[in-house]
Amino acid sequence: MDKRPWEANIRKVVPYVPGEQPAGDRLVKLNTNENPYGPAPGVRKALREMDAGGFRKYPDPAANALTAALAARYGVGQDQVFVGVGSDDVLGMAFLTFFNGEKPVLFPDITYSFYPVWAELFGIPFKTCELDSSLRIRKGDYGQPNGGIIFPNPNAPTGLLMGLDEVEEILGRNQDVVVIVDEAYIDFGGQSAIPLVSRYENLLVVQTFSKSRSMAGMRIGYAIGHRDLIRALNDVKYSYNSYTMNMPSIILGAEAVKDEAYFQETLGRIVATREKTKGWMRELGFDFPDSQANFLLVSHGQAKAEWLFEQLKKEQIYVRYFKTPRLDNRLRITIGTDEEMEILRKALEKLLQFADVYAG
Amino acid sequence: MDKRPWEANIRKVVPYVPGEQPAGDRLVKLNTNENPYGPAPGVRKALREMDAGGFRKYPDPAANALTAALAARYGVGQDQVFVGVGSDDVLGMAFLTFFNGEKPVLFPDITYSFYPVWAELFGIPFKTCELDSSLRIRKGDYGQPNGGIIFPNPNAPTGLLMGLDEVEEILGRNQDVVVIVDEAYIDFGGQSAIPLVSRYENLLVVQTFSKSRSMAGMRIGYAIGHRDLIRALNDVKYSYNSYTMNMPSIILGAEAVKDEAYFQETLGRIVATREKTKGWMRELGFDFPDSQANFLLVSHGQAKAEWLFEQLKKEQIYVRYFKTPRLDNRLRITIGTDEEMEILRKALEKLLQFADVYAG
């Protein structure tokens, strides 16, 4: 078909493809790294008490209740906190705000697959740095000339954690650009770089409510950094959409931050289940990096990942399969409840009996 | 202070400044064109029944419940509906998606002040077309070479409506670019261009839940157009943030669309109050375009707008004042309840007694 004239000015993009969101009560959903436990009790209470009458008014454009709760929790100034519609909005806005140089932005070749998508969307030059053979970030790569740096810690989908000393080493060598540490999974076993923001004005730490705080459905992410970085982010935000956070996300988000005991308890359960899962995965012959996140990236010598992925789906068990170089024989499996992991274990045991026959 | 090296790559913007969101029970808030009546009863019911446990999961990235409700209401295919975080998100995304040509995008010089902000943010060339002396859009201006067109109908902050035949005339002359009609206020008295989308593939109609549907606090906007325009918008959206609509906005937004009777009833009340307000405003000596929106843009021969704005604020009455050329002696006043407008009337009557003395 001929191209219509009005199509000439349309932006060309290759969008990120999110994980499936299959519906149904009986399925075991281990494909999008959601938290198997519900949000904090205070969130339920605040939801019950919410007044729909208030929806007629615009929400607070600065989302003060939410940024105040985060500032208190992390011991920073309220002007050091930026919030957005999930960490995707925060990261996308950060790409648009901070990565406007001529030199390429650096990030790992195997990482959150949205990074190259944002770079393409906004016309930002970038260069990927290859992970080593054990899928670790080679911090030496981040000494080359660049227009900015971003990496997740722990990295996704490997789950591998970098120590804070290594993060600081990268920061130390890159004080002339903005360095973003994407800590979506840090609460499951790592040390956050947030304490470093008082010493490095060019450090932006991004976290999310979608994993450890069990609020994926509310879409809340945040960045913590020097107040000048946060001001720059807010300037760009106010140039795009004055009110990104709706009333429920501000009210319920603040509640989710306040219940530290519940937060620590559910984190502890997920970490315990993860370690238990590592044990039986090894016994079944699976190979995986030693993840400190709420997922494992597994492969098996006798069964192809894509085959396992399809077979598990038939059993109503959803895991994530990426058909991309170096990942196309691995599965990313979210840590669910002990019960869910037990259903997975039984399904995998059964499948592996047939693996030699079918997955040659 | 010397510029720090990491500041070099930061995007320079002059952000849009939203209207104040003062808090307090006794104030009369007529400054951000909010609906004085609450959302539909079905919204309250769905809020009461909402399960916080569901927040642990990601929302439906396609927001199907919401797009289906809108498609049914407007008699279009579900693939002809795009939703975003308020019409600001929808419009900002549309600028990024459709306005990538070399020629300038055209819009009125007095209009929604976010248009030039988005153009600057994304580096889009634009040209403004001067309203005539009675603040009307001169449709002849929109025949010149351009890379796209956008205008609100009714225009803001004038409230002046263009007939559908005039909208179609502009469309007819611009079939080679995307034309966006921003209908944030159409429900208060205009004829929507939505029926034209079946005949003009290059027409995108944008509406919002913030005004006529009383859901400003939920941040929901939408665009209706040819499925190829909607697909292009979704491609860019999925290149920025997979999940822009959180769970409450999807569920409660769908409910807000379903109650047509409540919608018509509250619209009727606002329109009646507007016409009554026009009557006493004229009697008090105010001058204003004949608004078909939920606000009036008023000026007074004997009292300066900025002075009235400050004085009203002292009485806890908030209206909007724009300190910009051609608008700096006018006030934009939202139509509230009859009671609120009566409080305003009394305050203005009192102020106008002193106007000669203080506002010379």
> Tens of pLDDT along B228-285?
999 999 999 999 999 999 999 999 999 999 999 999 999 999 999 999 999 999 999 9
Task: Please report which helix (H) or strand (E) contains residue B98, including its range.
Answer: helix B86-98
At B356 the pLDDT is 62
pLDDT of residue B357 exceeding 60: no
- Give a yes or no: residue B11 inside a domain: no
Task: Answer with the one of B258, B292, B322 that is the final residue of a domain.
Answer: B258
Question: Do B45 and B70 fall within a single domain?
Answer: yes
A349 backbone dihedrals φ, ψ, rounded to 5°: -55, -45
Domain count within chain B? 2
pLDDT of residue A195 exceeding 70: yes
Q: CB of A1 within 8 Å of any CB in chain B?
A: no
Cα separation, A22 vs B31, in Å, equals 43
pLDDT of residue B360 exceeding 50: no
Q: What domain range includes position B127?
A: 41-258
Residue of A nearest to B93 (CA): A240
Give the ranges where chain A is alpha helix by DSSP (H): 41-49, 64-74, 86-98, 114-121, 164-173, 227-238, 247-258, 260-283, 305-314, 338-358
Task: Answer with the one of B194, B225, B258 that is the final residue of a domain.
Answer: B258
Compute the half-sphere exposure of residue B172: CA atoms within 13 Å on the CB side of its CA.
Answer: 8
> What residues of chain A, 132 to 171, have a C-beta less than 8 Å from chain B?
147-148
Is A248 in contact with B246 (Cβ distance < 8 A)? yes
Residue of B nearest to A59 (CA): B217
Question: Do B125 and B101 fall within a single domain?
Answer: yes
Question: Do A168 and A268 fall within a single domain?
Answer: no
At A356 the pLDDT is 62
Is B121 in contact with A14 (Cβ distance < 8 A)? no
Is A89 in contact with B217 (Cβ distance < 8 A)? no
Question: Do B58 and B75 fall within a single domain?
Answer: yes
- Give a yes or no: residue B15 inside a domain: no
A289-293, B203-207, B324-328: segment of lowest average pLDDT: B324-328
Question: Do B151 and B274 fall within a single domain?
Answer: no
Question: Do B25 and B171 fall within a single domain?
Answer: no
pLDDT of residue B354 exceeding 90: no
Listed in order, strand segments (DSSP E) in chain B are 28-29, 81-84, 105-108, 126-129, 149-152, 179-182, 203-208, 221-225, 286-287, 295-300, 317-318, 331-334
Q: pLDDT band at A357, cuts 50/70/90?
A: low
> How big is the A-B interface in CB pairs under 8 Å?
276
pLDDT of residue A1 exceeding 80: no
Q: CB of B1 within 8 Å of any CB in chain A?
A: no
At B129 the pLDDT is 98
Dihedral, CA of residue B235, residue B238, residue B239 and residue B245, to nearest 10: 130
- B58–chain A nearest CA distance, Å: 4
- B156–chain A nearest CA distance, Å: 17
B109 backbone dihedrals φ, ψ, rounded to 5°: -75, -30
Cβ atoms of B108 and B137 within 8 Å: the answer is yes
Question: Do B211 and B288 fall within a single domain?
Answer: no
At B19 the pLDDT is 73
- Give a yes or no: residue A177 inside a domain: yes
- Give a yes or no: residue A12 inside a domain: no
pLDDT of residue B192 exceeding 90: yes
- B315–chain A nearest CA distance, Å: 20
Question: Average pLDDT, whole number, for chain A?
Answer: 95
Is B38 in contact with A32 (Cβ distance < 8 A)? no
pLDDT of residue A258 exceeding 80: yes
Question: Do A81 and A125 fall within a single domain?
Answer: yes
Give me the mean pLDDT over the A208-228 stretch: 98
Q: pLDDT band at B358, cuts 50/70/90?
A: low
pTM tops 0.90: yes
Per-residue model confidence as pLDDT tens digits over B19-62 = 777 877 789 999 999 999 999 999 999 999 999 999 999 999 99
- Give a yes or no: residue A308 inside a domain: yes
Q: CB of B98 within 8 Å of any CB in chain A?
A: yes
Query: In which residue are the tokens 């080593």 written?
Result: A132
Is A56 in contact with B216 (Cβ distance < 8 A)? yes
Q: pLDDT band at A26, cuts 50/70/90?
A: confident
Question: Do A52 and A158 fall within a single domain?
Answer: yes
- B270–chain A nearest CA distance, Å: 14
Cα separation, A226 vs A199, in Å, equals 9
- Give a yes or no: residue A188 inside a domain: yes
Quick one: which of B134, B129, B137, B133 has its CA closest to B155? B137
Question: Do B83 and B212 fall within a single domain?
Answer: yes
- B266–chain A nearest CA distance, Å: 12
Question: Do A139 and A240 fall within a single domain?
Answer: yes
- Give a yes or no: residue B8 inside a domain: no
Question: Do B123 and B244 fall within a single domain?
Answer: yes
pLDDT of residue B359 exceeding 80: no
Cβ-based neighbours of B249, under 8 Å, separated by 6 or more: A246, A248, B63, B66, B85, B218, B219, B220
> What residues of chain A, 202 to 231, have a C-beta less than 8 Å from chain B?
202, 210, 214-219, 228
Is A9 in contact with B147 (Cβ distance < 8 A)? yes
Q: Is the dihedral of CA A74, A78, A80, A82 positive or negative?
A: positive
Q: CB of B257 within 8 Å of any CB in chain A?
A: no
Q: Is the dihedral of CA A244, A247, A250, A252 positive or negative?
A: negative
pLDDT of residue A183 exceeding 50: yes
Compute the half-sphere exposure of residue A145: CA atoms within 13 Å on the CB side of its CA.
Answer: 4
Q: CB of B27 within 8 Å of any CB in chain A?
A: no
pLDDT of residue B136 exceeding 60: yes
